[in-house]
Structure 1
């Protein structure tokens, strides 16, 4: 595979092919432009004798209709597909890709019978897969193995830069719990700041690798953001104005000290029940990553989640950088200059918390935080940025600037729940250290927690 597009999802796809051996279809979910179609076709080229790629966003109506009219005559279905796409199919050595399958629900419903037929393998890709309008009037097949695909993580970003050495070294120091040393840490932080600004959308990373030009990368990001806005107007029909309002307000919400999403910033009369569908739409599109308040981490994160209190992170931090200054030109975007010069202030702090959320999510954790507000005694107030499950224990994770002096919320949280907690972590801009029972990791190790 080309270094620029080497993805960890490929290994999961190999495992699916080997273990399931035709007994399921593989469904790759992810946001638009995250690389689903590319990896599906690359996998098909590398691992099969032949393949057919049906892009349902572009396929003519005659192809769409096939999956309604020929569902009971698979011989004819395969014959027509083979002739139309000019591809010979080989039993147990060909794969058919249903790209943007949400745009042809009948094709997805047919998966049950295609898998049972057993002649070929099937890979589906799509976004907004579970949105009601995309599954209306069809039976969801149980013969699907799901993979969620996210923007490139930091290690994949380094692979794209042609760097195969740095991250294994970072992982080794993480596992051995020892500092990297000043020179190496400084170098990794420089690369990590690039990752924060560029993000992990493949087209953006490719533009940066080819040009090393942040402005060129920013132009691609603006196109992706426009695509997302176009999707909102097309697929969030009836409540698109609410989706726009939430989406555009994300940078403003994250720039505040308390990053919980407050609908009052949109309208004083706004209520969650009126905006619930809009939040769900953005999460289903995988454009954002909601982080829910776990009100009682001792009984489990999922069991105590409170949907009405949430933080909303962009799924890709690079897109957040551009979204924050979407009305200005690249030259007016102060974040690029400040991050590259390592001048993190309050506003740029939103990027460090967002990139940690992005890395934790890509590592397989669901996003939760803890917040307690006591109007009668403000000293009882506390907020923990993230809670992650490690084994049977819950670990609190705080994101701090390099110059932080204390962690009062973490101290209060440990006093309240200590006997049921696992290790306690602070992620910050400095090298590894352990102090007062709290493990301090550099930000770029967030994906290893």
Structure 2
């Protein structure tokens, strides 16, 4: 089965450029980069020529020596026993980090064959560490993430997705109670499964012949396998010594989140993360590695809203979230039945799950670090920059009405044009902010006209 991804449109826009640069597709491992490129070519009737540098190491010889684009393409044609149509075909270098000289060849292809569509994918860290061979200014980037809730919904329930598409976020009103509950059910299911393509496909495959709980137990095993593959991959690009520190920091993310207070996560604490080492300076390297590998999402804590928000950042004050909500719950061994009945089963621990979900959705939109606002006892989980607007986002897991004290405090101080409380409640608009169902967060920020 094919998963429809929003990135297809961005690939189409890139492919239509006259003087395009080779495209490097960024993303954590296992988010489906290779799958997307091949299916993009298939559905657009583009002839694709692929070299996988991990499985086809004899292709290394193609790029040895000083050579121009014509020579490189001639060797590729011979190697693949094919002919490349410069104006129409796609050249795809997969796992390109395995051979630095192939990375360097992107420079010559851009300068001499700008009409040729060239895409490279692989470990972003592996690509970037080859600084001597990296073609600075000769490539462009496109980021890829795990499936968002919207993409997940489209994959598992097309009819409900069609209704979801009819929701007009510029003219919001109370959503039909029947569909609101159905969308919440799928949202809770997404918290258990997450957006890793292999995991989503496993769910779709097995749910046909098994009960929901049996299927989710199969899915959990797939998630655990993915986590193990990440951890075993740390040493490949970071070295044996550093990999142990990276593992410590990676595992600390979920542990610290699970120790959160009722409805808000805490600042990331440095003490005890790496044995016998204290302070920000000791964890900044491994954390930066995880952030660049797109396995960690940072939200920097600020106390004012002067733009640019980056100017308000103190580098050692931040929260950290995992890149996929399903993997977070697998890492913590969160009981699957609790996720499907999150309103009553998880008690005081469900807040951090909702907050991590929102972090993933926002990161897939911005592709940048996030921001959290605190002042005194008030905290706004996220501040979202949209054009000239700074939009406060309060996240609540409950479907019961609660006073949004922090949000009201922020509104009184800054008087924002937009202010949102995302919750399991249906839509509402009063006291200067909108209450919006959690499943609409991606739609609100992508489709609403600001």
User: TM-score, normalised to structure 2's length?
Assistant: 0.89
Contact 1:290 1:367 in 2 (8 A): yes
Tell me which of 16, 25, 34 is aligned to 1:37. 34
Tell me which of 62, 87, 110 is aligned to 1:66. 62
**In the aligned structure 2, how far is the partner of 1:26 from the partner of 1:261?**
34
Contact 2:302 2:371 in 1 (8 A): yes
More displaced 10-residue stretch of structure 1: 143-152 or 200-209: 143-152
Q: Against the structure 1 CA distance between its residues 74 and 393, is the aligned structure 2 distance closer, same or farther, given a 3 Å change threshold?
A: closer
Alignment correspondent of 2:280: 272
**In the aligned structure 2, how far is the partner of 1:218 from the partner of 1:309?**
33
Question: Per-residue deviation at 1:77?
Answer: 2.4
Question: Per-residue deviation at 1:99?
Answer: 1.0
Alignment correspondent of 2:393: 397
Name the SS for the 1:175 alignment partner: coil
Deviations 1:60-82, CA, capped at 9 Å, x for gaps: 1x32232232x414333223222
**In the aligned structure 2, how far is the partner of 1:121 from the partner of 1:131?**
19
Question: Per-residue deviation at 1:294?
Answer: 2.9
Alignment correspondent of 2:448: none
Name the SS for the 1:41 alignment partner: helix
1:251 aligns with 2:254: yes
Q: Against the structure 1 CA distance between its residues 305 and 164, is the aligned structure 2 distance closer, same or farther, given a 3 Å change threshold?
A: farther
Question: Per-residue deviation at 1:24?
Answer: 1.1
Contact 1:178 1:432 in 2 (8 A): yes
Tell me which of 245, 260, 269 is aligned to 2:267. 260
More displaced 10-residue stretch of structure 1: 115-124 or 165-174: 165-174
Alignment correspondent of 1:320: 328
Alignment correspondent of 1:417: 414
Tell me which of 94, 100, 105 is aligned to 2:100. 105
Q: Against the structure 1 CA distance between its residues 140 and 168, is the aligned structure 2 distance closer, same or farther, given a 3 Å change threshold?
A: farther
Alignment correspondent of 2:340: 340
Q: Map of 1:142-181 to 2, 5 A cutoff?
A: 142-163=137-158, 165-166=160-161, 169=164, 172-181=167-176
Alignment correspondent of 2:371: 369
Contact 1:291 1:312 in 2 (8 A): yes
Name the SS for the 1:276 alignment partner: helix
Contact 2:374 2:380 in 1 (8 A): no
Segments of structure 1 that go 5 or more residues without pairing to the other structure are 326-332, 374-379
1:126 aligns with 2:122: yes
Question: Per-residue deviation at 1:48?
Answer: 5.1
Q: Against the structure 1 CA distance between its residues 265 and 179, is the aligned structure 2 distance closer, same or farther, given a 3 Å change threshold?
A: farther
Alignment correspondent of 1:296: 304
Question: Per-residue deviation at 1:30?
Answer: 0.3
Question: Per-residue deviation at 1:413?
Answer: 2.3
1:443 aligns with 2:446: no
1:386 aligns with 2:389: no
Contact 1:221 1:322 in 2 (8 A): yes
**In the aligned structure 2, how far is the partner of 1:98 from the partner of 1:22?**
19
Contact 1:295 1:306 in 2 (8 A): no
Alignment correspondent of 1:376: none
Question: Per-residue deviation at 1:185?
Answer: 0.6
Deviations 1:105-147, CA, capped at 9 Å, x for gaps: 2222221211222263201112334775x22322433232211
Alignment correspondent of 1:200: 195
Alignment correspondent of 2:112: 117
Deviations 1:191-229, CA, capped at 9 Å, x for gaps: 111111101111100000111211121121111111110
Contact 1:111 1:141 in 2 (8 A): no
**In the aligned structure 2, how far is the partner of 1:384 from the partner of 1:21?**
44
Name the SS for the 2:64 alignment partner: helix
Question: Per-residue deviation at 1:100?
Answer: 1.9
Alignment correspondent of 1:136: 131
More displaced 10-residue stretch of structure 1: 188-197 or 360-369: 360-369
**In the aligned structure 2, how far is the partner of 1:275 from the partner of 1:140?**
30
Alignment correspondent of 2:245: 242
Alignment correspondent of 1:214: 216
**In the aligned structure 1, how far is the partner of 2:390 from the partner of 2:162?**
26
The count of residues paired between Structure 1 and Structure 2 equals 427
Q: Against the structure 1 CA distance between its residues 44 and 22, is the aligned structure 2 distance closer, same or farther, given a 3 Å change threshold?
A: farther
Tell me which of 226, 232, 235 is aligned to 1:233. 235
User: TM-score, normalised to structure 1's length?
Assistant: 0.89
1:6 aligns with 2:4: yes
**In the aligned structure 1, how far is the partner of 2:22 from the partner of 2:395?**
39
Contact 1:397 1:425 in 2 (8 A): yes
**In the aligned structure 2, how far is the partner of 1:167 from the partner of 1:244?**
41
Q: Against the structure 1 CA distance between its residues 22 and 391, is the aligned structure 2 distance closer, same or farther, given a 3 Å change threshold?
A: closer
